[in-house]
Chain A
Amino acid sequence: MIYDTIIIGGGLSGLVAGVKLASAKKRVAIITSGQSALHFLSGSIGLLSAVDGEPVSDPIASLEKLPENHPYNKIGAGRISSMAGEAADILKAAGIVVDGNAGETRYRLTPLGAWEPTWLVMDGIASCPHPSKCPWRKATVVNFHGYLDFFPEYVADGLREAGIEAECHEVKLPELVRLRKSCSEMRAASIAKILRGEVLRKLAIELNALGGDSEVLLLPAVIGLKSMQETEELQAMVKKTIRYVPVIPMSVAGVRAQSMLRNYFEKLGGTYFLGDSVSRGNFSDGRLESVHTANLGETVLEADDFILATGSFFSQGLVAKPDAIVEPVFGLDVDQTAERTERYDKNFFAPQRYMRFGVETDKEFRVSRGGKTVANLRAIGSILSGADPLKEGSGAGIALLSAVCVARKLITLN
Chain B
Amino acid sequence: MELQVKNISPNNFEQCIKCTICTVYCPVLSVNPDYPGPKQAGPDGERYRLKDPEFYDKALKMCLNCKRCEVACPSGVKIGDIIQTARIRYDHHRPGLRDVILASTDEMGSIATKMAPVVNTMLSLKPVKVIMDKTIGVDCHRTFPAYAGRTFESWMKHKAPDQTVYPHKVSYFHGCYVNYNYPALGKDFVKLMNAIGYGVELLDKERCCGVAKISNKLISQATRDAELNIRSIRAAVAKGQPVIGTSSTCIFTMRDEYPHVLGVDNADVRDSIYLASKFVHELVDEGKVKLVFRPDFHRRVTYHTPCHMQRMGWAIHSVELLRMIPGLELVPIESACCGIAGTYGFKKENYATSQAIGKELFDSILNASVDEVVTDCETCKWQIEMSTGVPVVNPVSILAEALDVEATRKANGL
Contact = CB atoms under 8 A, between A and B. Distances in A.
Q: Does A associate with B in a complex? A: yes
Interface of A: 1, 33-37, 39-40, 178-182, 184-185, 187, 189-190, 193, 225, 249-250, 255, 263, 266-267, 271, 273-277, 293-299, 314-316
26 contacts: A34-B71, A34-B74, A34-B75, A37-B74, A180-B33, A181-B33, A181-B34, A182-B35, A184-B36, A184-B40, A185-B23, A185-B37, A187-B23, A189-B23, A190-B23, A190-B29, A190-B30, A250-B20, A250-B21, A255-B24, A275-B72, A275-B311, A277-B76, A293-B313, A296-B314, A316-B74
B313 A33 contact: no
B73 interface: yes
The B interface is mostly helix, strand or loop, or mixed, namely helix
Given A33-B76, A273-B316, A179 B21 contact: no
A293 B23 CA distance: 26
Interface string B66-97: 00001111111000000000000000000000
A37 B75 CA distance: 11
B15 to A, nearest CB: 10
Contacts of A178: 33
Interface pairs A-B: 8 shortest CB-CB = A295-B313, A275-B71, A34-B74, A181-B33, A189-B24, A276-B313, A35-B72, A35-B21
B235 to A, nearest CB: 22
A275 B68 CA distance: 9
B76 A34 contact: yes
Contacts of A271: 316
B271 interface: yes
Contacts of A296: 313-314, 316
Contacts of B33: 178-182, 185, 190
Given A298-B271, A298-B282, A250 B74 contact: no
A39 B21 contact: yes
B315 to A, nearest CB: 9
A189 B334 CA distance: 18
Given A34-B76, A250-B24, A296-B313, A182 B70 contact: no
A274 B20 contact: no
B332 interface: yes
A23 B363 CA distance: 29
Given A1-B320, A39-B19, A255-B24, 11 more contacts: A35-B21, A35-B25, A35-B72, A187-B20, A225-B24, A263-B334, A273-B313, A293-B313, A298-B271, A299-B282, A314-B17
Contacts of B39: 184
A37 B19 CA distance: 9
A319 to B, nearest CB: 11
B48 to A, nearest CB: 13
B310 interface: yes
B37 A1 contact: no
Contacts of B37: 182, 184-185
Nearest to A299: B282
Contact of A275 (B23, B29, B282, B310): B310
Contacts of A190: 23, 29-30, 33
Interface in B310-333: 310-314, 316, 320, 332
B285 interface: yes
A1 B285 CA distance: 6
Contacts of A295: 312-314
B313 A34 contact: no
Interface of B: 17, 19-21, 23-25, 29-30, 33-37, 39-40, 70-76, 271, 278, 282, 285, 310-314, 316, 320, 332, 334
Contact of A193 (B17, B30, B72): B30
Interface core residue of A1, A179, A249, A255 (most chain B CB under 10 Å): A1
Contacts of A250: 20-21, 23-24
Nearest to A34: B74
Nearest to A188: B24
A277 B71 CA distance: 11
Contacts of B75: 34, 316
B70 A275 contact: yes
A187 B36 CA distance: 13
A34 B73 contact: yes
A35 B69 CA distance: 10
B74 A314 contact: yes
Greatest chain B CB density within 10 A among A34, A39, A184, A190 is at A34
B29 to A, nearest CB: 7
Nearest to A29: B316
Nearest to A2: B285
A299 B54 CA distance: 45
A351 B39 CA distance: 32
A373 to B, nearest CB: 29
A169 to B, nearest CB: 25
Contacts of A39: 19, 21, 24
Interface centre among B35, B74, B75, by most chain A C-beta atoms within 10 angstroms, is: B74
A6 B351 CA distance: 42
B201 to A, nearest CB: 22
B43 to A, nearest CB: 13
A365 B289 CA distance: 40
B221 to A, nearest CB: 29
A89 B39 CA distance: 36
A36 B74 contact: yes
A3 to B, nearest CB: 12
A293 B310 CA distance: 15
Nearest to A189: B24
Contacts of A1: 285, 316, 320
A364 B2 CA distance: 53
B223 to A, nearest CB: 26
Contacts of A225: 24
B72 to A, nearest CB: 5
A297 B25 CA distance: 26
Given A249-B20, A271-B316, A275-B311, A185 B29 contact: yes
Contacts of A274: 71, 310, 313
A43 B17 CA distance: 22
Contacts of A181: 33-34
Nearest to A274: B71
